[in-house]
Amino acid sequence: MTDKPAAALQVGKRIAGGQGLSQVLLRRASAVELDWDVRQKSRIEATDSLGRALNVFLPRGTVLRGGDVLVCEDGSLVRVKAAPQPVLVVTHCADHGTPFDLLRAAYHLGNRHVPLELQPDRLLLEPDHVLADMLRGQHLIVTETSSAFEPEGGAYGAGAGAHAGHAHGHAHDHGRDHAHDHGHKHDDGHDRGHAHAKQGHDHAHAAHDHDHDHDHGHAHDQPKAGGKPIAIPVVGQAKPHVHGPDCDHDHDHGHGHSHGHEKHDH
């Protein structure tokens, strides 16, 4: 009598990039290798490195990336690896082109909605002989190899960019720091800034503890600008010179033409 195969583990949670998990837990986790075509699906049947069958059910539109971690119903973890697959590698020709050719190629491929992995010195895409011929016609070098494929995602989607899971937290922290760190205190500065309105404005701006310009809703005497002022003459300027019979300029410019009047002595 043979043993029945173990029931497939149900998987319904993904941790992008394994964020928040210790290296010890990640080393103990099993792994599953999936190519790009499979990782785009929200329903996946696969087998991990321990031989366990997995039934993956993720929210529609979820895209798995290499480095993501799946959480099984029994609490075990499974690391996702991008499986090697056939890809075209596009590089610029040093003899007949420049790195700018890659930028142009990415533009044309993007217009065709071709899944594309961007690297500093190359582009990767799935094999397509028509696209390969087009790229070679643009003085680009196209070779086929086997490699993990991590194309760019939509700019505003949850899977934007090949490393969206790793950069997401940093992007928000960076935004908050720059949005609110103005180098001044709002509570103290603005209270003092508005309290002087009852004193007939007889004060100097030094009373404000601000490093920036702001509008209090009332007028202040403008502080004198520091440094030497630059004078721009605007009075007594002559009218634009028009070459003609009444002109008193010497028009012999050395370029062999006549303006239709005699040369004047100055």
Pull the structure tokens for residue 137.
């016609």
Same domain, 94 and 141: yes
**How far is residue 78's CA from residue 91's CA, in Å, rounded to a whole number?**
35
- The pLDDT assigned to 6 comes to 78
Pull the structure tokens for residue 140.
């680009």
122 is a domain residue = yes
**How far is residue 124's CA from residue 50's CA, in Å, rounded to a whole number?**
31
Domain that holds residue 33: 9-82
H-helix or E-strand spanning residue 104: helix 100-111
Q: DSSP assignment of 195-241, as one string?
A: HGGGGTT-S-GGG---SS----SS--PPPPPPSPPPP---SSPPPPP
Same domain, 14 and 74: yes
257 is a domain residue = no
- The pLDDT assigned to 122 comes to 97
Same domain, 18 and 60: yes
The C-alpha angle with vertex 124 and arms to 120 and 125, in degrees rounded to 5, equals 150
102 is a domain residue = yes
- Segments in the chain below pLDDT 50: 163-220, 223, 225, 237-238, 240-245, 247, 249, 251-266
**How far is residue 224's CA from residue 211's CA, in Å, rounded to a whole number?**
17
214 is a domain residue = no
163 is a domain residue = no
Pull the structure tokens for residue 139.
């003085």
Same domain, 70 and 13: yes
The domain spanning residue 25 has which CATH number? 2.60.260.20
Same domain, 89 and 62: no
219 is a domain residue = no
204 is a domain residue = no
**How far is residue 42's CA from residue 60's CA, in Å, rounded to a whole number?**
5
Same domain, 13 and 42: yes
Contact yes or no for 102/120 (Cβ under 8 A)? no
- The pLDDT assigned to 79 comes to 98
Angle between helices 129-136 and 100-111 (to 10 degrees): 140
The domain spanning residue 128 has which CATH number? 3.30.70.790
195 is a domain residue = no
Contact yes or no for 80/64 (Cβ under 8 A)? yes
Give the model confidence (pLDDT) of 32-81 as tens digits: 999 999 999 999 999 999 999 999 999 999 999 999 999 999 999 999 99
Pull the structure tokens for residue 65.
């990336």
**How far is residue 49's CA from residue 79's CA, in Å, rounded to a whole number?**
10
Same domain, 35 and 76: yes
Of the residues 147, 179, 198, the one at which a domain ends: 147
First vs last C-alpha separation in the chain = 123
Same domain, 15 and 78: yes
- The pLDDT assigned to 224 comes to 54
71 Cβ partners below 8 Å, 6+ apart? 11, 12, 13, 14, 15, 77, 78
Q: At which residue do the structure tokens 């062999």 appear?
A: 256
**Nearest partner of 67 among 29, 41, 37, judged by Cα:** 29
- Tally of domains in the chain: 2
- The pLDDT assigned to 203 comes to 42
Same domain, 89 and 119: yes
**Nearest partner of 29 among 11, 42, 43, judged by Cα:** 11
Q: What is the largest CA-CA distance in the chain?
A: 125
**Nearest partner of 106 among 81, 140, 79, 72, judged by Cα:** 140
- The pLDDT assigned to 258 comes to 45
The pairing of beta strand 69-72 with beta strand 53-57:
unpaired
